[in-house]
Amino acid sequence: MLLFYIIKVITHYGKINKVICAKKILLIDGLNLIRRLYAALESEQDIKRRIERTQSASIDALARLTKQFLPSHAIVVFDSSGKTWRHEVFPEYKLGRVPMDDVLLDALPKFAELFRFNGIVSIRLTGLEADDIIATLAVKAAENSIKSYIISTDKGFSQLLSDENILQYDCFSKIGYDRIWAEEKYGVLCDQLGDYWALVGDTTNRIPGVMGIGPKTALAIMQKATNIESIYNDLSRFTDKQQQKLSGHYEQCLLSRRLVTLKTDIEVGVRLSQLVYPCVGRE
């Protein structure tokens, strides 16, 4: 079995050299990582072997990430196995998404066990998605001037990037995301992304937008009003065509914004001291 992290003790004139790591936390979207690695191994016909190779690839990926970022703290976060609060308020949430293979679902506890064995805590909270837990941890860390690196390809984390202490990294494309990237990509402030997505919708999660409003129209609307409330406070500011599209969708927009907005106030139940990750290497 490949070890997640091999601590190398380098001696020099009889002394142990250690890297003194600044406080920073690695927040890993567990299923986002595992499902992509599993999908990349679809040519493997032996399902047991495919799971084992995915486990090995996951550990290798985390080893590279910890070597790259040298975190002082780290955690792998998993989605709840059942319905979440979003399903409760909107039953169509994620409806139609291709379900996870049963064999992979059954193997997830083993993944968590392997991560813990190799030095990284894993967590899953009933009724909550990993995104909300990660968002809460990132915001709490930022409030204490601790930099967070969110490891995920999920675009929803872009709404957190207004804080300079929160960054996102796609370990597959090897691209990092920050506030400047997000604002250039979407054309609105990170804090406005919830309102923007409420207008255009989120097809990945089956969250509806306003019929007929795409990114270009949404940007035109938000140049005159910064959020859903101000948009609907005075529709007369918009063109007749825009008014026609917006009319009657206020409550839907509020619901959609609630669904796309990440929670940042969850009682996670873990202390930072429980997430310490050994940071040892060459000076």
- Per-residue pLDDT reduced to its tens digit, 98-152: 888 999 999 999 999 999 998 999 999 999 999 999 999 999 999 999 999 999 9
**Domain for residue 273, yes or no?**
no
- Per-residue pLDDT reduced to its tens digit, 210-258: 999 999 999 999 999 999 999 999 999 999 999 999 999 999 999 999 9
- Domain containing 209 equals 190-260
pLDDT computed for residue 78 by the predictor = 96
CA distances from 140 to 56, 72, 266 (A): 32, 15, 10
User: Which residues contact residue 150 at a Cβ distance below 8 angstroms, ignoring those fewer than 6 apart?
Assistant: 27, 29, 134, 138, 157, 160, 166, 167, 168, 169
Query: Is the same domain home to 56 and 139?
Result: yes
What pLDDT band is residue 280 in, cutting at 50, 70 and 90? low
| Predicted TM-score (pTM) of this structure | 0.89
- Per-residue pLDDT reduced to its tens digit, 34-78: 999 999 999 999 999 999 999 999 999 999 999 999 999 999 999
pLDDT computed for residue 278 by the predictor = 82
Query: Is the same domain home to 178 and 158?
Result: yes
pLDDT at 277 exceeding the cut of 80: yes
**Domain for residue 112, yes or no?**
yes
Q: What is the mean pLDDT of residues 161-183?
A: 97
Give the domain CATH number at 76. Answer: 3.40.50.1010
Last residue within a domain, chosen from 137, 167, 184: 184
H or E, element range at 259: helix 250-260
Per the listing, tokens 């990349």 go with 40
pLDDT at 2 exceeding the cut of 50: no
